Structure 1
Amino acid sequence: MSDTPRTAPAPEGPASRLEVERVLGGGEGPVRFVGWMLAGADLSRLDLDGSVFERCRAAQVDFSQARLTEARFLSCDLNNSRWTGARLSSADFADCKLTGAVMGDIQALDLKIARCLLVSAQMPGMSFYRCALDGVDFEDADLRKADFREAVLTGCSLRGANIVDARFERTDLRGADLGELRLADASKFKGAIISKHQAAQLLAGLGLKVV
């Protein structure tokens, strides 16, 4: 999308769905929401393609089935937000809090996530195919059947995450914190690239030492 987002002045106090719809209908192209208070707002099914959300307080906001292709979220509080069925292809999350977010059935090709908290987030079946994930905390997140193929995880944490049936073929996990590794965990990361230190942790379960 080539259109430069137009900045919408933040209203005083919490913003409702009606106010967001009014801004969207007040001109052409995407909108830049700076400092908006959107906590608990129902923004489901809205067309927000290309929009920018910067320093917004949006805990428990509902983006279910919203169109958010190429949207950007910068330094936002999105804790316990809901995203079920949203379109997030080429979306960008940076320095955001997404603890407890519900992100099932999302369309998210080429998703970008950097320095974000996704602790205890619900993300079953999420696609991170070929994504570059930098500084993302997935601790205790539900990542069942997630697709991490060919992704690169740098400074990320998967401690306590549920990765049952997740795919890690050619995933670079050398810069990730995988928690306390046991030999039984090896099959969960089948096909992944790990460091010598991580390999040593796995082999330690057999009583072997890497030198």
Structure 2
Amino acid sequence: MDARELNAAERLDQYISGDRNFRGVHLSRNLLDADANGGNSISAVEWGVLQLGERIRRVGIDFGNADLAGTHRGWANLTRANLEGANLSGTNLSGADLSDANLRRADLSEADLRNINLSRANLSECNMARALLTDAKLAEANLSRVNLAKTNTGANLMEADLRGANLNRANLRGANLTGAYLNSATLVEADLHQANLTGANLSRGNLSKTYLRGICLKGTCLTQVNFSGADLAGVDLSQKLLTGINFAGAYLSGATFAGALLMEAQLNSANLKAANFKKACLIAADLQQANLERVDFREANLTGANLTGANLTDADLRDANLRSANLTGIQFKGVRLAGAVLPNGKVCRPPKR
């Protein structure tokens, strides 16, 4: 296929003849213009999408490296289409079906992708900066290394369906993921700095080694999430249900867990310096080798918790419950224990003046 511009009639002839290969063809300048004879203003490609949906679903269209920037016509069904490397910047694809499509390295910056179906699509290494993705369906899509960063406010993925999606190393800085469905999604080493996950569902998600500083997790479901090695410094997780959650090796300095439920949580080797666990429930939690320097454990329930080798320097354990806890190899320098229930069941009394 020549890398040249085709008029509407030529594109129509090409499509009807069965040639689905539009790889490298420039379609942006005259896509919406009338052809040389003043004929129909709709392109052959769009005509095929709108009128030959069943054939497209069976065959798929090859738009690899094509330039479709700034188009605004309807794109009804592009199931399994090959759009690898295509320029779709500013394109209106709202409501389109691109399930199972190949969009690897495509440019979707500033595109309108509202209510689009990208289920199982390959979006790896895409540029989706400033794209509109409200109500987008991205279940099981591959978004590894995708750029969703947006100047000022972040990409809009409000209520997007990202269940089981691959978002490894994705740039989601400042993204709006309010109410998004991220169940079982993988976001390993993703950048979620200052992202908004209010009301989102992250249950069983893998956020290992993810950057989450400044993130908003109000009303977020975090059941069985893997945060191992993640950076959650200063994050507010107060009153959250975090049973069985994995924070092993995570950086949680200054984080707030006040009143949180952390039964059987994995916090081993985590850096929890100056974190707040006041009135938190840590029954049977694993805190082995954790840095608990200056941590506030006042009135916390640590029954049966394993603190072997943890650093409790200057920690505040006043009125905490340590019954049956494992304190082997603990550094107690500067620890406050007045009113705490010790592992043997005895209450630590303050020294008499």
TM-score normalised according to structure 1 size: 0.80
Q: What is residue 142 of structure 2 aligned with on the other side?
A: 32
Q: Percent identity?
A: 18
Q: 1:7 to 1:104 in 2, by over 3 A?
A: farther
**For 1:79 and 1:150, how far apart are their aligned partners in 2?**
27
Q: What is residue 109 of structure 1 aligned with on the other side?
A: 223
Q: 1:16 to 1:202 in 2, by over 3 A?
A: farther
- Does residue 1:69 correspond to 2:183, yes or no? yes
- Does residue 1:98 correspond to 2:193, yes or no? no
**Greater Rg over alpha carbons, structure:** 2
Q: What is residue 173 of structure 2 aligned with on the other side?
A: 59
Q: CA deviation at 1:201?
A: 3.6
**For 1:24 and 1:34, how far apart are their aligned partners in 2?**
14
Q: CA deviation at 1:102?
A: 1.1
Q: 1:44 to 1:190 in 2, by over 3 A?
A: farther
CA contact (8 A) 1:171 1:191 kept: no
Q: What is residue 168 of structure 1 aligned with on the other side?
A: 282
Q: What is residue 104 of structure 2 aligned with on the other side?
A: 9
Moved more, 36-45 or 188-197: 188-197
**For 1:166 and 1:7, how far apart are their aligned partners in 2?**
47
Q: 1:189 to 1:75 in 2, by over 3 A?
A: farther
**For 1:110 and 1:94, how far apart are their aligned partners in 2?**
12
Q: What is residue 196 of structure 1 aligned with on the other side?
A: 328
User: Greater strand share, 1 or 2?
Assistant: 1
- Does residue 1:81 correspond to 2:191, yes or no? no
**For 2:324 and 2:155, how far apart are their aligned partners in 1?**
40
Q: CA deviation at 1:33?
A: 0.2
Q: CA RMSD in A?
A: 3.0
Task: Within 5 Å, give how 1:172-191 maps onto structure 2.
Answer: 172-180=286-294, 181-182=313-314, 184-188=316-320, 190=322
Q: 1:167 to 1:48 in 2, by over 3 A?
A: same
Q: Which amino acid aligns with 2:255?
A: A
**For 1:185 and 1:63, how far apart are their aligned partners in 2?**
37
- Does residue 1:135 correspond to 2:249, yes or no? yes
CA contact (8 A) 2:292 2:315 kept: no
User: Greater helix share, 1 or 2?
Assistant: 1
Question: What's the secondary structure of 1:169's corresponding residue?
Answer: coil
Question: Could you say which structure has the greater relative contact order, defined with CA pairs below 8 angstroms and 6 or more residues apart?
Answer: 1
Q: What is residue 49 of structure 2 aligned with on the other side?
A: none
Specify every segment of 5 or more residues in structure 1 that has no aligned partner in the other structure, as ranges.
207-211
Q: CA deviation at 1:92?
A: 0.8
**For 2:117 and 2:233, how far apart are their aligned partners in 1?**
32
Task: Within 5 Å, give how 1:43-54 maps onto structure 2.
Answer: 43-54=157-168
CA contact (8 A) 2:260 2:280 kept: yes
